[in-house]
Amino acid sequence: MTEQEGLTVKKSQNFDEWYTQVIIKSELVDYSAVSGCLVFRPLGYSIWELIQKATDEKFKKIGVQNVYFPLLIPEKFLKKEAEHVEGFSPEVAWVTETGDSKLEERLAIRPTSETIMYDSYSKWVRSWRDLPIKYNQWNNVLRWEFKHPVPLLRTREFLWNEGHSAFATKEEAEDERDEILGIYQKITEEFLALPGIIGKKSDKEKFAGATESYSIEHLLPDGRAIQGPDFHHDGQNFAKPFNITFLDKNGKTQYVWQNTWAITTREIGVMISVHSDDKGLVLPPKVAPIQTVIIPIFDDKTKSTILKAAKKIADMLDKKVRVYLDNRDYYTPGWKFNEWELKGVPLRIEIGPRDLKNRQVVLVRRDNSKKRAIPISKLEREIEKELEDIQKTLFKRASEFLETSTHKIKTSDEFKKILQTKKGILQAGWCTDVKCEGKIKEETGAKITNIPLNQNKVFSGCVYCGKKAKVIANFAKSY
């Protein structure tokens, strides 16, 4: 691999350019002819499939069922919930004609599916026996409002799950929050090796149409925060305009209580940003499509023998891990080393004539470049141990970064100074006045990412007005 094919900038020197080079040169994604819309190449889509599979399995264990609803939404549906339509109006792309004919009613390309789904819910729910509904769909959505897309992190079209549940009581709906956020926390921490801060969104930042919004917020290496998976209590804000009612056990007509929740392909961009380095991608083993690559080293005389031994090792490991044997003879071993490092494969196995003679292989870790000789007889066990350690190491490293980049702030001057020099998450008192929230964002560029659920102690006054603070909020510059 030539220098031009590898990365030409360092992560610490130019994060934005480094990030672009990593995702494009690793063949994770590519740009498309439509601004803000990406092509997922096999590597990128395979990662999404692994995230989707792990998340979907956890959904099904709590009774969530998958469905699919149309891509197109009649305009009259979007207009039924005023706050919802106002929140999404700038983002909606419209279909207005087919062929040479104008449509009688505009059709929105879904920015989210509440309205098209809840029209059906109103037909399906009649009695308390029809509840709860726990439906989810894996699909794409289109949101067109922003001018400066960032691949994966902020794209016009993205892939996600959107869960839509309905319950007979408010208490049941509220109880679902911790269950769903718990699933998302397991996926982000245990699979993507990404720590995050769980909290409640301010009213200004909540989802359009929700009564309460909750999120897992991540921190990127450039010091900016970005929202991860989220969960929204919708109360009866959609049930009433869509007339989703049921007869309760006493024969009385009631409106349902609803929630919505999602995880998106943005998580791939966050994962790449946090873990990867100047050689390319660094993938946590649990979401690496190839966990171990075998690279045989041979010449014309030893080719047959080495390839046979490498194939035997691949067959042995195939029962335990996702393994790939790179037996291409038109690239040098060094070229292959660089290529698989760029693509982020967690472990590399090298086997040459000397290794075969000694009945060993050389094992190389992608996360720290450490290499060691392993007897072939112990390889299965050692591979599993190394993959597990890489997974834990990446999460520990990311957690330490988040911890050291989270600052407790007491004064407005300190707040501005940290933003100028370090960025990160700034935990500060807030009086909950929306005017102070707006002024902070206007003057510093930092917004409230979320409000931690565990409010142990409010340690200062409002960081803007100085009056008594009611909560400690997380502030940050964000994507």
CATH number (domain holding residue 341): 3.40.50.800
The verdict on residue 32 lying in a domain is yes
- Asked if residue 195 and residue 170 are part of one domain, the reply reads yes
Domain boundary among 357, 386, 415: 386
Are the beta carbons of 151 and 23 closer than 8 angstroms?
A: yes
Return the CATH number at 470.
3.30.110.30
- Asked if residue 258 and residue 324 are part of one domain, the reply reads no
- Asked if residue 31 and residue 140 are part of one domain, the reply reads yes
Give the integer Cα–Cα distance in Å for 373 and 361: 6
The verdict on residue 397 lying in a domain is no
- Asked if residue 197 and residue 313 are part of one domain, the reply reads no
The verdict on residue 284 lying in a domain is no
The verdict on residue 395 lying in a domain is no
Which structural domain, as residue segments, surrounds residue 302?
292-386
- Asked if residue 342 and residue 314 are part of one domain, the reply reads yes
Examine residue 195 and say whether the peptide bond preceding it is cis (omega within 30 degrees of 0). Answer: no
Domain boundary among 242, 275, 308: 275
Instruction: Quote the number of domains for the chain.
Output: 3
Domain boundary among 250, 275, 300: 275
**How does pLDDT run along the chain (479 residues), one tens digit per residue?**
443 478 999 999 999 999 999 999 999 999 999 999 999 999 999 999 999 999 999 999 999 999 999 999 999 998 887 677 777 778 899 999 999 999 999 999 999 999 999 999 999 999 999 999 999 999 999 998 777 889 999 999 999 999 999 999 999 999 999 999 999 999 999 999 999 999 999 999 999 889 999 999 999 999 999 999 999 999 999 999 999 999 999 999 999 999 999 999 999 999 999 999 999 999 999 999 999 999 999 999 999 999 999 999 999 999 899 999 999 999 999 999 999 999 999 999 999 999 999 999 999 999 999 999 999 999 999 999 999 999 999 999 999 999 999 999 999 999 999 998 888 999 999 999 999 999 999 999 999 999 999 887 888 899 999 999 999 999 999 99
The verdict on residue 457 lying in a domain is yes
Give the integer Cα–Cα distance in Å for 476 and 479: 10
| DSSP notation for 257-326 | EEEEEEEETHHHHHHHHHH-BTTB----GGG-S-SEEEEE---TTTHHHHHHHHHHHHHHHTTTS-EEE-
Residue 1 CA: distances (Å) to CA of 5, 25, 26: 6, 11, 12
The verdict on residue 197 lying in a domain is yes
Give the integer Cα–Cα distance in Å for 276 and 284: 10
Q: What is the pTM of this model?
A: 0.95
- Asked if residue 181 and residue 268 are part of one domain, the reply reads yes
Give the integer Cα–Cα distance in Å for 7 and 301: 35
- Asked if residue 453 and residue 339 are part of one domain, the reply reads no
Residues contacting residue 360 through CB under 8 Å, at least 6 positions apart? 373, 374, 375, 376
- Asked if residue 187 and residue 100 are part of one domain, the reply reads yes
- Asked if residue 270 and residue 296 are part of one domain, the reply reads no
- Asked if residue 224 and residue 152 are part of one domain, the reply reads yes
